[in-house]
Amino acid sequence: MTADSAKPSNVVCEDGVCHIDWSKKKTPASASTPDAAAAAVDETIKKNKIVIYSKTYCPYCDKAKALLKSKGKDFELIELDSVANGEAMHAHLKQLTNQTSVPNIFIGGKHVGGCSDLIELADSGKLTEMLA
């Protein structure tokens, strides 16, 4: 089984990013879900030095997690396809960062982008500074 066959039908992965095609959304979220999800996202980013919002089937997420692990850094990992309100959290992240793809990475409360952005920071030496 390939990684593509395990991903949900509304997920598109190309050119180094995975994103959800929201037009294929099956069930509407309840009215209170977005507020609770937004609060959870904001609180998680505030309380943790490093946060990765990820999907379990995303190869770019795996690459970003491996890079941070190779730096010996612990991080808070939120697998959006495995948590309650994951779709609502992802929607809030899109509003917060204007990024629709995962991974969605925060360091020191600052949004740094996705996998390619993290790799760029590592290659330039800036990631080491940010993690110090």
Instruction: Count the residues in the chain.
Output: 132
Tens digit of pLDDT for each residue in 77-114? Answer: 999 999 989 999 999 999 999 999 999 999 999 999 99
Q: What residues make up the domain containing 95?
A: 33-131
Continuous segment of H or E residues that includes residue 69: helix 59-70
Q: Would residue 57 count as lying in a domain? A: yes
CATH number of the domain encompassing residue 118: 3.40.30.10
Nearest to 50 by CA among 102, 127, 117, 124: 127
Q: What Å distances lie between residue 67 and 18, 34, 72, 120, CA to CA? A: 18, 31, 9, 11
CA 50 to chain centre: 11
Q: Would residue 5 count as lying in a domain? A: no
Look at residue 81 in the predicted model and tell me its pLDDT.
Answer: 93
Nearest to 115 by CA among 52, 41, 49: 52
pLDDT at 115 > cutoff 50? yes
Nearest to 79 by CA among 55, 100, 43, 106: 55
Looking at every residue in the chain, the average pLDDT score rounds to 85
The whole-angstrom separation of Cα 87 and Cα 69 is 26
> To which residue do tokens 């509003």 refer?
95
Total domain count for the chain? 1
Q: Would residue 11 count as lying in a domain? A: no
Model confidence, pTM: 0.75
Residue 86 burial (10 A CB sphere; 0-12, 13-18, 19+): middle
Look at residue 84 in the predicted model and tell me its pLDDT.
Answer: 86
